[in-house]
Structure 1
Amino acid sequence: MGTSSAKQASVKNKNVPSIKPAGERYAIILAGGSGTRLWPLSRSAMPKQLLALNGEDSLLQQTARRLLPRVAHDKLITVTHADHRFEVMGQLHSIHASLADNVLSEPIGRNTLPAIAWAVASIAEKDPKALIGVFSSDHAVSDQVAFNQAWESAEEAALDGYLTLFGMQPTEPAVGYGYIQAGSALKKKTSSKASGAMSVSRFVEKPDAKTARAYLKQGGYYWNGGMFVFRADIFLAMLKKYQPAIHIAALSLSNGGGKVADFDTYAALPDLSIDYGVLELADKVAVVPVDMGWNDLGSWEAIYQQRDKDEQGNMVKGEVLAVDSQDNLLWSEHGLIATLGLQNLAVVQTRDATMVCPRDRVQDLKQLVASVKETHQHLTEIHMTVTRPWGSYTILEEGARYKIKRIVVNPGAKLSMQMHFHRSEHWVVIAGTAKITNGDKEIFLEENQSTYIPQTNRHRLENPGRIPLQIIEIQSGPYLEEDDIVRFDDVYGRAPVTP
């Protein structure tokens, strides 16, 4: 269905199989991407979906909890990037252990269509007629009842062979979203009543402000929120027709049964969204209009509008002292933000970076992040605290030829067996008990005990106890970056790194 001319949604697609009763309900969460519009909080190693921006849970966790009332734990599939795999698994595991077992890992980002295709093919192997919902991991929804009702209406259209979208009720003439123009209402096959779904007349990609205002005035236009419902076999038939290369690759990946995609197979796929790759080409596409308090939280201004404010109109998070300051976003992750006489600014402070700009310029943050990347690239990629499958480490201080970290190892976890060419390490235990392999020796250290790891020695750190192990690591040497590692053995499925 192209943007320049509409196709009638009722036109029969000869390549789509006849409709039969659906299988069970499944859901797919798309947890890829590494946006920059919420820098310095959001970075490539810790993107928006993994952050708690509007509550105690991360957006990913909120999405999973939103879906679970209608989907069994073992029928919820999450697709993410390899760099985020273990953080995603950890966050989902805290909700239910089986959620972490159904995480598919992309070695390289290829937009939404390859990710959806792989997950759908994996589901179709077990249940070819599965009824599948696809949902973004980084959006907020405040009305669960309206969400559930829209999902149910979308399923009714999907049973009739439609690829069905959620159309978000627009609240302003936004220019950052794609728009869907709705056509006529679809009828339920079992009655003459409308199903709640409508045919799609056309898609419009991010109109200018004048056009967006006209859409709101006219009505019948909805934001494309990136949520879809369809039958597995219907989707795969359309995928085979419109994107045969992705169809073949998705079947190959699902046949392998692995949770980590082959790099060469995935890298060869086109970078293509489901919108351009299938939806705008297909005949049977429907939309369910819904007002469910949807927000993509795509900017600091969106966060400001979403969260509560104080009596002066300030949105405050963390340790903040605002004097004679109005209508600001003041967000502290580390230390005190003290303001005097500020108005309409966004101030976001992390341990290693502070961003200050007018609130009406936060949409232009991508330009600032590009400049930061040129001079301080690491500040756009990782935080001072970095999550690993075994726990985390925090950089406390670094300088010429030294770096100091606090390392936290979860109970029962252990690091890979490894060695370094360019650095030696001193370890001091500050909490818990450490089991340490150092060359051909194995020792146990308790609180306030230490050891020395010489350069090129094979070594491993383990936590055999029941509480988190915390150590201070002091690295010394001419090169202290994370890629100075030779990994011999790893219990988390990470590839060995050889000399």
Structure 2
Amino acid sequence: MTKPAEASELFAHCHAVVLAGGSGTRLWPLSRTLLPKQLLSLDGGESLLKRTVNRALDVFDPRRVWVVTNEEHVFEVRSQLREINPALEKGVLAEPVGRNTLPAILLALDAIVADDPEALVAVFPSDHMVDSNGGWVESLGKALPLAREGRLVTFGIAPDKPETGYGYIRRGAPLASGAFDVRSFVEKPDLATAKLYLESGEYYWNSGMFVFSAEAFLEAVRAHQPVFWDWWERRAEAPLCSGYHSIPDISVDYAVVEKMDSQAVIEAAFGWDDLGNWEAIYRMGGKDQCGNALQGDVLALDCKDSLLISRGGKLACVGLENMIVVQTRDATLVCPKSESQKVKDVVGALKKQGSELINAHVTVRRPWGSYTVLEEGPHYKIKRIEVPAGGKLSLQMHHHRSEHWVVVSGTALVQVGEKETLLTENQSVDIPKATVHRLSNPGKVTVEIIEIQTGPYLEEDDIVRFEDVYGRNAKSGPAS
């Protein structure tokens, strides 16, 4: 096993790239577009993003940890990383729109090669569970010398069952340090084929983690993806983000990894799960004497081998076996464990209906605080808004709605038109539609207000920003 001092020297000039841009559909209703699974605590502990970054910090300098997310999540990502180490905030990179994993990695490489063109880079998904033990560092230590030789190194998970939800790697001839050449990458198989893979002993699950030299990776992009190479080459004329909307949506596995001439796979010396569905969350959780994994305010009577989660009120279940029940304040999922892969079909159906349930919870976090939808109906919506000390909403207006604010606690500084007023508990203010306004908290305790919206259109895109301390564009956009 690699000792801490040895690991520090080995990783001194290496960079970690954490991919945190996923939107999250397979763990609905807990995971939503605005709060995907990597930003959630799925077991009452740290979020998956925090766990991934803390694991990276065991061996990587915080100045060489890069987290790629999208504009919708960047403030929540920065907030979570700030709690770990404020130095990590500088390494957060925001995609203007999701374009899969290859563009995200190139965005990180743009920052990395500016400092070190010969850097070694390790890429990690932010939403996988990895056992935090020495085996993870040991496996990375084996990968780095191979990456220095120009190989792209992947980590294979020895399968313990015929899994149809993962891609596979077929190993070839043995190399040094227990690594193997890669004979082929294989797409997700059917069950019969997965059984053959398991029996052969030649196949690994593809963990989605890999290590490479920046130079070798960029050479593969130049050779196999001319559209992306042209985009990359023009970054001196215009930042990569400026061309993001016009580039293809493509995964790094398909675009580059599977096409590189020199590859290696290392059998992972750590436990791993991609937490890709609720059945995986059941496997991860602790169980009671009846085999149930319980979270939240749950009453389980005569239930067996089930995952029962409540994030909104009492959940009472009777006589369930091998079931998944996930309850939030605004939605509930009920399905057999064997059907957990079909949750994405539920999300697809809701999307066709135009449902907001796929996008946000009733409580939505913003860079200035949060809001919770308490009730809504035709032509009205009631919210509870919380703004911590120093928080400030954008200077904004709405075309279609009027608002009435009542201060519940704290001291609020309210601007309506050109006039600014300090409001305290039980004081209120009216904001007519098409009126410029702003709410901020100049005090030391959190401001809580009740906001009553009225009008013919109450969606979050009815906002025009004129000024914003968080650097968001002055445009129509989501939620204050």
TM-score (ref. length: structure 2):
0.94
Alignment pair present for 1:208 and 2:178:
no
Of the three residues 100, 111, 129, the one matched with 2:118 is: 129
1:292 match: secondary structure: coil
Per the alignment, residue 142 of structure 2 pairs with 153
CA deviation string 1:108-132 (max 9, x = no partner): 2211111111211320111011111
Kindly indicate whether the alpha-carbon contact (under 8 Å) linking 1:118 and 1:253 is maintained by their aligned counterparts in 2. Answer: no
Kindly indicate whether the alpha-carbon contact (under 8 Å) linking 1:121 and 1:254 is maintained by their aligned counterparts in 2. Answer: no
CA deviation string 1:232-270 (max 9, x = no partner): 112112211111321232354477678xx22xx112212
Alignment pair present for 1:110 and 2:99:
yes
Per the alignment, residue 78 of structure 1 pairs with 67
**Matches of 1:255 and 1:470, distance apart in 2:** 46
**Matches of 1:103 and 1:254, distance apart in 2:** 21
Alignment pair present for 1:444 and 2:433:
no
Per the alignment, residue 196 of structure 1 pairs with 178
**Matched letter for residue 293 of structure 2:** M
2:206 match: secondary structure: strand
> How far off its partner does 1:467 sit?
2.1
**Matches of 2:385 and 2:268, distance apart in 1:** 46
CA deviation string 1:378-398 (max 9, x = no partner): 011111111111111100011
- Cα gap change, 1:482/1:412 in structure 2, threshold over 3 Å: closer, same or farther? same
2:54 match: secondary structure: helix
2:341 match: secondary structure: helix
Kindly indicate whether the alpha-carbon contact (under 8 Å) linking 1:113 and 1:272 is maintained by their aligned counterparts in 2. Answer: yes
Per the alignment, residue 420 of structure 1 pairs with 398
1:297 match: secondary structure: coil
Kindly indicate whether the alpha-carbon contact (under 8 Å) linking 1:185 and 1:197 is maintained by their aligned counterparts in 2. Answer: yes
- Alpha-carbon RMSD: 1.8
- Cα gap change, 1:248/1:103 in structure 2, threshold over 3 Å: closer, same or farther? farther
Report percent identity of matched pairs.
Answer: 51
1:496 match: secondary structure: coil
Alignment pair present for 1:30 and 2:19:
yes
> How far off its partner does 1:369 sit?
2.1
- Cα gap change, 1:97/1:255 in structure 2, threshold over 3 Å: closer, same or farther? farther
**Matches of 2:379 and 2:11, distance apart in 1:** 62
1:405 match: secondary structure: strand
Per the alignment, residue 271 of structure 2 pairs with 293
Per the alignment, residue 204 of structure 2 pairs with 222
- Cα gap change, 1:303/1:479 in structure 2, threshold over 3 Å: closer, same or farther? same
Per the alignment, residue 4 of structure 2 pairs with none
- Cα gap change, 1:271/1:72 in structure 2, threshold over 3 Å: closer, same or farther? same
- Unaligned stretches of 5+ in structure 1? 1-20, 187-193
CA deviation string 1:383-423 (max 9, x = no partner): 11111111111000111221110111122120110111221
**Matches of 1:120 and 1:304, distance apart in 2:** 36
Alignment pair present for 1:269 and 2:247:
yes
1:310-321 residue pairs with structure 2 within 5 A? Answer: 310-321=288-299
> How far off its partner does 1:371 sit?
2.1
Per the alignment, residue 98 of structure 1 pairs with 87
Per the alignment, residue 330 of structure 2 pairs with 352
Indicate the larger mover: 48-57 or 299-308: 48-57
2:72 match: secondary structure: helix
1:128 match: secondary structure: coil
**Matches of 1:406 and 1:134, distance apart in 2:** 39
**Matches of 1:272 and 1:206, distance apart in 2:** 17
Of the three residues 184, 200, 216, the one matched with 2:173 is: 184
> How far off its partner does 1:482 sit?
1.0
Per the alignment, residue 250 of structure 1 pairs with 232
TM-score (ref. length: structure 1):
0.90
**Matched letter for residue 68 of structure 1:** L
> How far off its partner does 1:99 sit?
1.5
Alignment size in residue pairs: 468
- Cα gap change, 1:257/1:76 in structure 2, threshold over 3 Å: closer, same or farther? farther
Alignment pair present for 1:241 and 2:223:
yes
2:103 match: secondary structure: helix
> How far off its partner does 1:471 sit?
1.0
2:422 match: secondary structure: strand
Alignment pair present for 1:377 and 2:359:
no
Kindly indicate whether the alpha-carbon contact (under 8 Å) linking 2:128 and 2:274 is maintained by their aligned counterparts in 1. Answer: yes
**Matches of 1:69 and 1:431, distance apart in 2:** 42
Higher relative CO (CA 8 A, sep ≥ 6), structure 1 or 2?
1
Indicate the larger mover: 239-248 or 229-238: 239-248
**Matches of 1:116 and 1:214, distance apart in 2:** 34
> How far off its partner does 1:185 sit?
2.1
Per the alignment, residue 14 of structure 1 pairs with none
**Matched letter for residue 476 of structure 1:** T
- Unaligned stretches of 5+ in structure 2? 1-9
Per the alignment, residue 389 of structure 1 pairs with 367
Kindly indicate whether the alpha-carbon contact (under 8 Å) linking 1:332 and 1:350 is maintained by their aligned counterparts in 2. Answer: yes
**Matches of 1:215 and 1:374, distance apart in 2:** 37
> How far off its partner does 1:459 sit?
0.6
Of the three residues 336, 346, 349, the one matched with 1:368 is: 346
**Matched letter for residue 223 of structure 1:** W
Alignment pair present for 1:87 and 2:76:
yes
**Matches of 1:253 and 1:470, distance apart in 2:** 44
**Matches of 1:392 and 1:408, distance apart in 2:** 5
Kindly indicate whether the alpha-carbon contact (under 8 Å) linking 2:409 and 2:448 is maintained by their aligned counterparts in 1. Answer: yes
1:280 match: secondary structure: helix
**Matches of 1:455 and 1:125, distance apart in 2:** 47
**Matched letter for residue 435 of structure 2:** N
**Matches of 2:230 and 2:354, distance apart in 1:** 41
1:457 match: secondary structure: coil
CA deviation string 1:200-236 (max 9, x = no partner): 1111111111111111111121111110111111211
